Structure 1
């Protein structure tokens, strides 16, 4: 089951009439996301497989998975914000149980992202799963 934050995003996507509005909403989500400290944007936190530069830094606090993320592309920052809504606050073991492709398909992302962006999104999901597995 998706988090309340992700459900809110899904409801907003249902309300928006066309993909251009949804695309703008993804960008707005990225703009609203806190910036990642540049000192954390190092090779160890970089996500390979993304056309844009993407960094994800995990943390587990009180048994809950969370991460900071950033990108040099606004649409990708928005995708990171969506992934944050999907995963943040879950125990690391539950992160592994999230069916990210199915949840993201509810937003129509699989139909409207370029193949490069889709590959990058898959790389980010895989990286988050690996980080959660290491944390759990």
Structure 2
């Protein structure tokens, strides 16, 4: 399965990074680029359960492709979620089922920095995405 353009761009940038500090800065920058969610979207219905930080997720189907928007109260999580969105936006529901989350963050060189709780949180976000596409 080929990567969405945003994901391919992210992969290139993170592969070119020369170590964890540079990757951490990139991660924060990706998080800052997330378009803000409206207050109306930051509601209980859109809150992802299973995350230590608060993460809100909304999804919309456009011409057979899913587009997700998300936000978090934690900067690092916002960055990780932004990279997850880069990986999944524009996919069909079937393609979304095939996304390998640990593999994606491993490709980005970020898997070592994912604590078990962050990993669980990101898995919860992906699980919620898959639920929305059902």
In the aligned structure 2, how far is the partner of 1:80 from the partner of 1:21?
A: 18
In the aligned structure 1, how far is the partner of 2:20 from the partner of 2:26?
A: 9
Measured after TM superposition, the shift of residue 114 of structure 1 is 2.2
CA deviation profile, 1:79-130 (whole Å, cap 9, x unmatched): 1111111011112221112222212211122211222212211111211122
In the aligned structure 2, how far is the partner of 1:98 from the partner of 1:67?
A: 15
In structure 2, the residue matched to 1:45 is: 46
Aligned pairs for 1:106-125 within 5 A: 106-125=107-126
Q: How many residues are paired up?
A: 133
Aligned pairs for 1:80-95 within 5 A: 80-95=81-96
- Alignment partner of 2:68: what SS? strand
Q: Specify every segment of 5 or more residues in structure 2 that has no aligned partner in the other structure, as ranges.
A: none
Matched-pair contact (CA < 8 Å) for 1:58–1:65: yes
Matched, 1:130 2:131: yes
TM-score by length of 1: 0.91
- Alignment partner of 1:57: what SS? strand
In structure 2, the residue matched to 1:70 is: 71
Measured after TM superposition, the shift of residue 47 of structure 1 is 0.7
Matched-pair contact (CA < 8 Å) for 1:2–1:103: no
TM-score by length of 2: 0.92
- Alignment partner of 2:13: what SS? helix
In the aligned structure 1, how far is the partner of 2:44 from the partner of 2:8?
A: 32
In the aligned structure 1, how far is the partner of 2:99 from the partner of 2:117?
A: 23
Over the aligned positions, Cα root-mean-square deviation in angstroms equals: 1.2
**Structure 1 runs of 4+ off > 6 angstroms?**
none
In the aligned structure 2, how far is the partner of 1:129 from the partner of 1:23?
A: 28
